[in-house]
Amino acid sequence: MQKRRLGNSDLDITVLGVGAWAMGGGDWKFSWGPQNDSDSVAAIHAALDAGINWIDTAPVYGLGHAEEVVGRAVKDLSLKPLLFTKCARVWNERREIGRSLKRDSIIRECEASLRRLQADVIDLYQIHWPEPDEDIEEGWEACARLKEQGKVRWIGTSNFSVSQLERAWKLAPVTSLQPPYNLLVRGIEQEQLPWCQAHGVGVLAYSPMRSGLLTGKMTKERIAAMPADDHRQRVPDFQEPRLSRNLEFVELLRGIGAKHGCSAGEVAIAWTIRNPSITATIVGMRNAAQAKGVLGAATLSLTNEDIAAIEGFDFRY
Ligand SMILES: NC(=O)c1ccc[n+]([C@@H]2O[C@H](COP(=O)([O-])OP(=O)(O)OC[C@H]3O[C@@H](n4cnc5c(N)ncnc54)[C@H](OP(=O)(O)O)[C@@H]3O)[C@@H](O)[C@H]2O)c1
């Protein structure tokens, strides 16, 4: 699979990476409903077998569970993938999620992630959310310190605005930004992408299929029947009046995909990585079949006609 250099790092990463959010399983605030761990491990193995060379996870995904599953999946592999995780979302014994960019908290978080991932080093350590805003400098300095100590190899950001990126940049080089980017969420095109390109900062686009909405497999019936702990039901794009328009748009993607022997979801993913400011995209997958079902995106070349059809869609509702 095609690889690209991530920002100022020495990491050559495949254009698709494995996203482990849903692998965190059920029963927490931002869960995707129940998830079978064996399916998660099979998804990771299928992705790696197909040449994908990195996994993105976070401590908060399943309150430690996704990192444990990733650790278990890669433990005995002779060729290990690059491991990217995050900090700054913490939780208490009542499983309530909080935010912290305090130095001591980040150091504790890093140790816990290394233990759960069963790793000696984290390849990319990212501040998950720039919150609380006033502690960004303290958090970023803590990340830079962990890099100096060799606990993490490179440090990056996620969900940062340009002014927040600039504050971090003054203290230590930023390897990457991890923002949302897909056909329905394009806010970073105005400011973050030009800034990252100008500063040589890598971009890992998350939710390329709008968290499953653009796969071609999502229906109104499925959403209505989602388990109570699937947080996507609360997301406006999964609700009316946007939902009908979004599913109509998926039909356009399905038609484009059919011409290339690909699914609507693969068209959506391919669209994100054709943008030269995007280094790679993080694709969520819950089983081996889903992992295999997104691979076509890595080689799909959308035509000018495809792009014109996409840009011509009337997104009003
Ligand atoms: N930094 C952040 O704040 C942040 C935020 C969001 C995401 N992320 C990262 O980005 C990753 C990816 O984002 P995402 O998980 O939101 O979304 P995504 O890649 O847009 O969608 C993934 C979901 O689509 C469905 N799917 C995947 N492959 C499929 C296939 N072949 N056929 C049919 N359905 C398929 C699965 O859900 P269903 O089967 O349940 O429909 C899967 O969980 C996350 O795992 C995480 O690592 C980071």
Residue 226 within a domain: no
Give the residue, by CA position, lying nearest to ligand 1 atom 27.
Answer: 285
| The token pair that represents 183 in the structure block | 């056909």
pLDDT by position in tens, the chain (length 317): 999 999 999 999 999 999 999 999 998 899 999 999 999 999 999 999 999 999 999 999 999 999 999 999 999 999 999 999 999 999 999 999 999 999 999 999 999 999 999 999 999 999 999 999 999 999 999 999 999 999 999 999 999 999 999 999 999 999 999 999 999 999 999 999 999 999 999 999 999 999 999 999 999 999 999 998 898 988 999 999 999 999 999 999 999 999 999 999 999 999 999 999 999 999 999 999 999 999 999 999 999 999 999 999 998 87
Can you tell me the distance from the alpha carbon of 91 to that of 97, in angstroms, rounded to the nearest whole number? 4
Tell me the CA–centroid distance for residue 281 and ligand 1, in Å: 11
| Residue 22 alpha carbon, nearest atom of ligand 1 | 43
Residue 255 within a domain: no
- Structural domain boundaries, residue 199: 3-212+267-301
Give the per-residue pLDDT at 143. 98
Closest C-alpha among 148, 149, 198 to residue 169: 198
| Residue 86 alpha carbon, nearest atom of ligand 1 | 1
Give the per-residue pLDDT at 317. 76
Q: Which residue has 């698709």 as its token pair?
A: 16
| The token pair that represents 13 in the structure block | 């990463």
Residue 229 within a domain: no
| Residue 293 alpha carbon, nearest atom of ligand 1 | 31
DSSP secondary structure string for all residues of 251-309 = HHHHHHHHHHT--HHHHHHHHHHTSTT--EEEEE-SSHHHHHHTGGGGT----HHHHHH
Residues labelled as active-site residues: 61
Residue 80 within a domain: yes
Can you tell me the distance from the alpha carbon of 224 to that of 69, in angstroms, rounded to the nearest whole number? 29
Whether residue 132 has a cis bond before it, omega within 30° of 0: yes
Residue 237 within a domain: no
Residue 251 within a domain: no
Residue 250 within a domain: no
User: Measuring from each residue's beta carbon to the nearest atom of ligand 1, which residues come in under 6 Å?
Assistant: 19-22, 32, 56, 128, 158-159, 178, 206-212, 215, 217, 265, 282-286, 290, 293-294
Residue 245 within a domain: no
Q: Which CATH number belongs to the domain containing residue 191 in this structure? A: 3.20.20.100
For the chain, give the longest Cα–Cα distance: 54
Tell me the CA–centroid distance for residue 23 and ligand 1, in Å: 10
Give the per-residue pLDDT at 315. 85
Choice from 203, 283, 300 to test ligand 1 binding pocket (greatest atom count within 8 A of CB): 283
Tell me the CA–centroid distance for residue 297 and ligand 1, in Å: 14
Please state the domain count of the chain: 1
Tell me the CA–centroid distance for residue 50 and ligand 1, in Å: 18
Q: Is the dihedral of CA 178, 183, 184, 185 positive or negative?
A: positive
Can you tell me the distance from the alpha carbon of 297 to that of 214, in angstroms, rounded to the nearest whole number? 13
Choice from 207, 218, 219, 294 to test ligand 1 binding pocket (greatest atom count within 8 A of CB): 207
Give the per-residue pLDDT at 22. 96
